[in-house]
Structure 1
């Protein structure tokens, strides 16, 4: 859970709110739905700390002793919605791909132009989303131009006359208003930083320049900084980000329960094209980028699977026509799978795409049974239509038996519960509905396709068998 305070908020300010957030989450722990709560402020793992931010890691209890994660996250969002002074964004890390990132799941990047233009485009897009799409939650961006800052202007002539250097002014302000590492010491093999800073209780205000003294190297006397330094307040961005070498602003959001990443990406890309200028360049990062890359890879695998199955069948049947007839079952399975996903309220995600790849081989099996048996009957001397009709009738039972067996194996995936049940449900729905559709329509589509395309074809090895018969009938001609 990400916690953002107002720009310029101090550590002490955030600490009070982090304690309040922890107190609001404790009832969930007392109910046994939360196992552990880790609260940290400031936010940041490296040398740069975000003092006006923090985060909370909530470890849920075992699946059997709690509700699903989405209802718990919605309750947490409701408990923290009226918390004044900070913004709290519950985030559910992705199971794979994102690596447990604390960022919000949707990160949509606007690039190009100046930062002022980017801020204007950001405001336009966010305002439109808030009015048009309530399924994108906790809208925010990584560009905040209202960070309170102080500009220090030094009168270099006056400082030189007083015998004070710029480095002395800088180190004095750093030490008294912040702190600086002056050395390290070693204890039991561990190194510790020695930080020189003013006592927090008596630390001077940046505006109290009269109380901040620096020693003159010329006279040896203490000189107030106010005699050579002026301060100017201004608000500006805390960071200036770039993405793919362009100035960029990232719009972040969480997805509502049941709102898929693919739907959100399509909406954002379409909306940005409609309401933003043509010079705006859009991209995604984080979990959204992982999703796009995974979808592209799955689409490639789906096409590759169709091609490989077709080539293998072409080698087995020694023909390109028979595999083409068999592959008519694949679109039938895909249509049934997509209808099943739509009717059950499921989305086309990575798991469903994996199921579609599996359907390529499972659906082709039905066509193979009919085409292969029809070829055998034609070799045995049956007329074309007679062989085709008998193949469809005779192969009905094995097609139904194998299909029902496979579909029965998908039922446990659909009715399962517990951790990961949502992913198994999607996979089972694709297999069950896809095979049901392929089995139902194969007996109609494959015979028609065979009649239209394969009338002038023979079975594998037909030419070799004809040659053997001719040689057997005319043995004298072999000499």
Structure 2
């Protein structure tokens, strides 16, 4: 007795096995993580260090290089890149494929912390984070605008009331604020007033550090009671900072308010965000890797509706961008295709079998096999994404084959005069070997795709194994359920009439016709060989011609309804100047007929902006058709460079199809010359629409050249002079103050009107002989030069 007999004679057992497969698949359907594409195993560890006031050369030498050397010894690193800019160091370690990012994070964190004392004390603590290949952008962005509140007030409201509510949503990794202006106590020093009273900038910093002090006093402990103690050693309001005593001259008190304007301002005024032309603050919602992004953003939308009801007067909130909208529509299209496929397969099966009762067997096998494949996806840790759904769609035609073979074989035995039960027993026994062989063969065809390495293997592993898993489940169903259903559902043999009889007679005539043609073909074998050789040659020529007539790319461009670009303005452009260029670019996006929203984030000499188009169902023009129109209009904006692009379809791919990195021990200028030669030859080939070199030596820089001999003769030291200059212009914070339960920075700096150009620095006063202030021009002069905007490195080589 074969094992198939057990399921035929005991139909309840066959049904139980099928229901187990069905229930396992249904519970997996509810728990599977829904994503646009499979999780990428390519990640990076970023180390960001802020050193306010430092130039790129200083940042590279004293921050970037030590961090690079420490990170290079960590395990699992493929290569290291770094970028040193004005006031910031960014070191990125790209990990090897499939390497544990958390393990790499722990290793790199330990190594960076070990050299923390070697970094300049004025630099901030390095921020170390994991950057996944498919998490370059948040799953959703919210826009908050107000025609009453200032940006720092909007930011504070978001930090206190909105951000905690969004981060508390199940599945949200973080809700960060983009382009916000955090409150800070700004001490705008007056150089002339300070010079008249002989108070140096470094003295102001010292006074702030010593008199805005957070003291943890402790508590008293008696025999029966203990009382906690506090002391008002810190300051809380602008008025308290104004009343801070800087110096006492005889009976006169010189307060901070006498030499500076003290206001509750913002940490940074170098960023401005706009949403459809109006000043705004953005929030990005990032979803946990193992969370269902569709459900998470759906819950975020519900929470946003509740938040809207509680917003202050004049403030509005919008869902500026929702990546899950595209994912949702794409998944719905795939599900629709799946339903259409099932209907077409059912019709085709009916046309060939000619009996509704015969159709039931393979039709029941299809959903059980597909739903059962979801359980295997859960076991393997896969996600429900476009590629796995594509695998399920493609598997419809494969999973139905085994059931059709069973039905056809049982019907053949019924036609030979057997009873349905005996026909099912004999037919199933005959097909055990063939069905197992078919299942293994089909699964073996797709499984090697899962063994590929690199990005292709990471993306298509789930596709291949899902397809193989569906085929495997269909083989189980064909041996367990299909024979039992055939024994009880197939009609007994009799002379067929009607539609089924017509189908059988038609196929009999076709079989006779084909048999005769096949006999004649076999008698003319040389002609068959000639035709075979001709088809093979034609196929080979077509294969060789594909690269010349078809575009090669990792994935076709998808219409995600978004166009964006990076704005590159002149290196010496201020935030005010760059905003003018960004507004012009924003108008270009706004004038597109199908534009729904526009957005821009602007900073000095650079920016980022784009547009979100109307939903796909309400527009007829695809996004890619707008690209050349937008590019032509952006190219007409003077003084800036902005190339519009669409988001990449697959995670981990670059926004540019071809990228070169030139690394050498040579200096930046020599590398740039060589890069320009390559760039010019590439553009002369007329194969590229756009090109760019990330290294640009066009950043104006004023170097303060100090007269060391004169400084030494005056009995001064560089530390004091450097401290005065840093306190005057640098803009670094001294300490923190408390305001309604949150801490904010205290930042002394001279007013912007006193540092509009490098020549004004000559009028800055620094500590001179006998602690008397002297103009900087007494001991130094200004020299202008041009430097690179950023100093890039690759594998610890200049690049």
Q: Same fold (TM over 0.5)?
A: yes
1:176 aligns with: none
* Cα distance in 2, alignment partners of residues 468 and 283 from structure 1: 59
Counterpart check, 1:242 vs 2:275: yes
Match runs of 1:369-388 below 5 Å: 369-388=405-424
For 1:186, the equivalent position in structure 2 comes to none
Aligned counterpart, 1:309: 345
| Match 2:398 to one of 328, 353, 362 | 362
Match of residue 127 from structure 1: 164
Could you tell me how far 1:252 is from its partner in structure 2? 4.4
Quick one: distance in 2 between partners of 1:381 and 1:247?
80
The equivalent position to 1:91 in structure 2, one of 131, 136, 140, is 131
CA contact (8 A) 2:420 2:490 kept: no
Q: How far did residue 356 of structure 1 move?
A: 2.1
* Per-residue CA distance 1:108-161 (angstroms, 9 max, x = gap): 22357748779746755643565676x8556522141327799xxxxxxxxxxx
The alignment status of 1:39 with 2:73, answered yes or no, reads no
Pair 20,210 (structure 1): closer, same or farther in 2 beyond 3 Å:
same
Structure 2 residue 462 is the aligned partner of structure 1 residue 426: yes
Q: RCO higher in 1 or 2 (8 Å CA, sep ≥ 6)?
A: 2
Alignment partners' CA distance in 1, 2:52 and 2:173? 24
In the alignment, is residue 107 of structure 1 matched against residue 147 of structure 2? no
Corresponding residue of 1:463: 502
Q: Which residue of 1 aligns with 2:104?
A: 72
The one-character-per-residue Cα deviations of 1:237-262 (angstroms, maximum 9, x if unpaired) are 8433437999673324374xxx34x5
Output the CA distance in 2 between the equivalents of 1:415 and 1:398. Answer: 26
Instruction: Please give the per-residue CA displacement for 1:230-285, whole angstroms capped at 9, x wherever unaligned.
Output: 99773388433437999673324374xxx34x524423433553586074764754
Equivalences, count: 370
1:368 is displaced (CA, Å) by 1.4
8 Å contact kept, 1:28–1:34: no
1:348 counterpart SS class:
coil
Gaps of 5+ in 2: 1-44, 117-122, 195-260, 309-316, 509-799
Secondary structure at the aligned position of 2:273 is classed as: coil
- Asked if structure 1 preserves the Cα contact closer than 8 Å seen for 2:178 and 2:284, the reply is yes
Alpha carbons 1:322, 1:371 under 8 Å: kept: yes
- Alignment partners' CA distance in 1, 2:264 and 2:431: 84
Of 288, 292, 303 in structure 2, the residue corresponding to residue 263 of structure 1 is 292
Gaps of 5+ in 1: 43-51, 95-102, 151-204, 212-229, 470-479
Deviations 1:327-356 (A, max 9, x none): 322222223322222223333334433332
TM-score, L = length of structure 1: 0.58
Task: Describe the SS at the equivalent of 1:327.
Answer: helix
Provide the C-alpha distance between the structure 2 equivalents of 1:467 and 1:110, rounded to a whole number of angstroms: 63
Question: C-alpha deviations, 1:19-42, integer Å up to 9, x for none?
Answer: 525532333435683434131436
User: Greater shift after overlay, 273-282 or 450-459?
Assistant: 450-459
Equivalents in 1 of 2:507, 2:440: separation in Å?
41
- RMSD, aligned α-carbons: 5.0
Give the C-alpha shift of residue 400 in structure 1.
1.6
Whole-angstrom distance in 2 between the partners of 1:453 and 1:390: 16
TM-score, structure 2 normalization: 0.38
Residues 396/323 of structure 1: CA separation in 2 closer, same or farther (3 Å cut)? same
User: Partner of 1:347: helix, strand, or coil?
Assistant: coil
Contact 1:104 1:252 in 2 (8 A): no
Query: 1:78 and 1:366, CA in 2 relative to 1: closer, same or farther beyond 3 A?
Result: farther
Q: Is the 8 A contact 2:145 2:278 kept in 1?
A: no
